[in-house]
Amino acid sequence: MSTFGERLSTAVAERGPLCAGIDPHASLLVEWGLEDSVAGLETFAFTAVEGLAPHVSVIKPQSAFYERFGSAGVAVLERVIAESRALGALVLLDVKRGDIGSTSQAYADAYLDPASPLASDAITVSPYLGFGSLDPFVDTARRFDAGLFVLGLTSNKEGPEVQSATVDSGETVAARMFDHLRRLNADAAPLGSFGAVVGATIGDAGEDLAFNGPILAPGFGEQGGTAADVRRIFGPLTVLPSSSRGLLRAGPSVDALRDAALRTNDELR
């Protein structure tokens, strides 16, 4: 099997860079005329998969919006992952896990081991217990040719409290995270499998983002980030601008969801 970085490079070349979030906010279910229930969740999620997964390179479900329905919601998430992959999209599961030791390994097994019903192509993880706490995720991703997106410069206003703090070398915490990613992606071609999350609304990144890995850029679309922002902040780097509500508000029409995804990809190319 090819590495995640290789698969992602191919997918972006064929389908464009847009990452489509399938996040069943309660308010979106209501906008679609659905009940905020497992039945509404199923209708919403699988309509979104049908409209988006055949046309974008990456589908990104946010796990929390499924977990809030308990085991029935997680069962829907399992199907979203499987059906999105069957339609040719890579799946980046947004779980932002980060722990230590055997707990990190258990999370890695849950989301990256192909034997798991939640197995995805990549997941989001948090390095802020120390980058070394991610070793079980890194080792498991390498074993199964999966990918990781490490929180780097996030778009939330509280992020700089940690990410812009400085370490003993004088560099910022975020810069240290990018240094770790540079090491993990060394010599990978055409692209490393270890990426970062960098918000599309951060203004000037102020950091060297060239670490030979992909960048997930939330904040695009509904949160104010534009295609011009993406080009200005990231230049020629491999970036996945992520939109969820901005795309999903085109529903519940499958055709309208498809058209919104294709139109957005055209803007980003």
- Residue linked to tokens 């975020």: 174
Q: What's the pLDDT band for 19 if we cut at 50, 70, 90?
A: very high
The 3 state secondary structure assigned to 204-258 is CCCCCCCCCCCEEECCECCCCECHHHHHHHHCCCCEEEEECHHHHCCCCCHHHHH
Alpha-carbon distance of 243 to 264, in angstroms, equals 9
Task: Report pLDDT for 156.
Answer: 87
Distance CA 144, CA 193 (A): 11
60 is catalytic: no
What token pair was written down for 208?
Answer: 């060297």
- 129 neighbors 136 (Cβ within 8 angstroms): no
pLDDT of residue 202: 79
Residue type, 255: D
pLDDT for res 91:
99
pLDDT in tens, 21-58: 999 999 999 999 999 999 999 999 999 999 999 999 99
Does residue 3 carry a pLDDT above 90?
Answer: yes
Asked if pLDDT for residue 203 goes beyond 80, the answer is no
- Amino acid at residue number 7: R
215 and 225 Cβ atoms separated by less than 8 Å: no
Model confidence pTM above 0.85: yes
Q: What is the pLDDT of residue 269?
A: 85
Q: Token digits for 28?
A: 């979106």
pLDDT interval class at 61 (50, 70, 90): very high
What is the reported pLDDT for 221? Answer: 75
Distance from C-alpha of 151 to C-alpha of 180, rounded to nearest angstrom:
12
Per-state percent for the chain, helix, strand, coil, to nearest 5: 45, 15, 40
What is the pLDDT of the chain when averaged over all its residues?
Answer: 95
The active-site residue out of 96, 142, 182, 245 is 96
Q: In the prediction, which pLDDT does 204 show?
A: 73
> Is the confidence at residue 207, as pLDDT, over 90?
no
SS3 195: strand
Closest CA to 198 of 151, 165, 238: 151
pLDDT of residue 155: 82
Cis amide leading into 127 (omega within 30) = no
**Helix or strand (DSSP H, E) at 243:** strand 239-243
Q: How high is the pLDDT of residue 157?
A: 87
Per-residue pLDDT tens digits for 181-198: 999 999 999 999 999 999
Helices and strands, counts by H and E, the chain: 12, 8
* Predicted confidence (pLDDT) per residue in 218-233, tens digit: 988 777 788 998 998 8
Q: Alpha-carbon distance 164 to 173, whole Å? A: 6
